[in-house]
């Protein structure tokens, strides 16, 4: 650890002070809060007057120490190695920029995505599920992790994936253990509890109240609403929506766009349910529901090209 600190610009005397104060490993450095690390650095500076030269820590080196603490904690969260041999000045410079950019991102308003409406008897599961997922992607939990990682499908990350953003990587790879996970898991449970209270899904969520297990509650809802029986029912509802949809001309609260939306949503749901309809049948079903005489010529043209 002494060599790591010296690589970041500390003198041997200043690096030794970290060791004397109990920071002998990267793990111990990682577990410090930012405030605790700042206090330690100030303490070492105060000792400079009584001990002698060599305890002054340059400002750039202070930033690099914070950056390596941030990096080590991020690697821990992602389940990746963070050994002393990996620490270099270029690594510290890179993670200092990452730390800076993420701090700036924290200042962006987080209420741009609204929480979904409570889950009631007539609520559509798939639309509500997407609403919850989008909302949790917008909420950052403890350790700077998007709360969507709590409800991801897989327990372990898929090896070999390349991520476009640190957000995607955290959602996909953040470990499901430790104090940060326990806290974030409880926050998600509180959200699910508030959204399902007194509704048809409440008993499945309430089963996890004692443990405040948001992930368990979410998986229980997914099993309930996406099991084989529910999948069959959902498919049937999609087919019925397509079959019953008609366009007889514009009327109050229902225009041609409304008709298009019914078909689009039904086909999108069928794709998610693993039962996509061939394009030519999509066109036939769509045209069959149009009975407005003003659309006859358009239907004839579309029929010839389908």
Q: Is 200 domain-assigned?
A: yes
Query: Hunting for tokens 């069928």 — which residue is that?
Result: 270
- Domain that includes residue 208, residue range: 125-215
CB 216 within 8 A of CB 204: no
Contacts of residue 157, Cβ cutoff 8 Å, sequence gap at least 6: 79, 172, 173
Domain membership of residue 114 (yes or no) is no
Residue at which a domain ends, from 105, 133, 156: 105
Q: State which of 105, 138, 165 marks the end of a domain.
A: 105
197 part of a folded domain: yes
Please check whether residues 188 and 254 belong to one and the same domain.
Answer: no
198 domain-assigned? yes
Neighbours of 174 (CB within 10 A): 26
C-alpha 81: how far from chain center: 22
pLDDT one-digit tens code per residue, 112-153: 788 899 999 878 888 899 999 999 999 999 989 999 999 999
Give the total number of structural domains in the chain: 3
Sequence-distant (≥ 6) Cβ neighbours of residue 303 within 8 angstroms: 287
Domain boundary among 105, 137, 167: 105
Q: What is the mean pLDDT of the chain?
A: 88
**Same domain assignment for residues 101 and 10:** yes
Q: Is 161 within a domain?
A: yes
Is 142 a member of any domain? yes
Considering the domain architecture, whether residues 70 and 139 belong to the same structural domain is answered as no
Q: What is the pLDDT of residues 30-82, one digit of tens each?
A: 999 999 999 999 888 776 654 555 678 899 999 999 999 999 999 999 999 99
pLDDT tens-digit readout, 86-100: 999 999 999 999 999
216 phi, psi to nearest 5 deg: -60, -40
pLDDT at 193 over 60: yes
302 has pLDDT over 70: no
Q: Is residue 120 one of the residues assigned to a domain?
A: no
Q: Each residue of 220-243: pLDDT tens digit? A: 999 888 877 667 777 878 888 899
Question: Both 93 and 30 in a single domain?
Answer: yes
159 and 236, same domain (yes or no) = no
């Amino acid at each position: 650890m002494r060599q790591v600190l010296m690589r970041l610009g500390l003198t041997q005397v200043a690096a030794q002070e970290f060791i004397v104060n109990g920071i002998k490993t990267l793990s111990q450095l990682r577990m410090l809060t930012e405030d605790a690390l700042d206090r330690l650095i100030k303490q070492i500076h105060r000792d400079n007057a009584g001990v002698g030269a060599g305890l002054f820590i340059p400002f750039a080196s202070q930033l690099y120490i914070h950056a390596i603490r941030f990096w080590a904690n991020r690697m821990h969260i992602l389940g990746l190695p963070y050994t002393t041999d990996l620490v270099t000045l270029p690594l510290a410079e890179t993670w200092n920029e990452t730390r800076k950019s993420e701090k700036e991102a924290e200042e962006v308003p987080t209420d741009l995505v609204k929480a979904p409406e409570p889950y009631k008897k007539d609520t559509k599961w798939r639309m509500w599920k997407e609403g919850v997922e989008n909302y949790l992607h917008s909420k950052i939990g403890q350790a700077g992790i998007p709360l969507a990682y709590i409800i991801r499908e897989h327990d372990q990350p898929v090896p070999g994936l390349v991520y476009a953003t640190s957000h995607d990587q955290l959602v996909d790879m953040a470990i499901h253990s430790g104090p940060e996970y326990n806290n974030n898991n409880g926050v998600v449970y509180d959200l699910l509890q508030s959204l399902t209270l007194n509704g048809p899904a409440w008993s499945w969520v309430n089963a996890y109240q004692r443990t405040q297990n948001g992930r368990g509650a979410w998986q229980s809802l997914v099993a309930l609403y996406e099991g084989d029986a529910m999948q069959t029912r959902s498919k049937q509802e999609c087919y019925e929506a397509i079959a019953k949809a008609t366009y007889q001309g514009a009327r109050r609260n229902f225009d041609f766009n409304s008709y298009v939306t019914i078909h689009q949503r039904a086909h999108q749901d069928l794709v998610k349910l693993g039962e996509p309809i061939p394009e030519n049948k999509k066109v036939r079903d769509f045209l069959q529901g149009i009975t407005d005489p003003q659309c006859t010529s358009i239907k004839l043209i579309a029929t010839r090209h389908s």
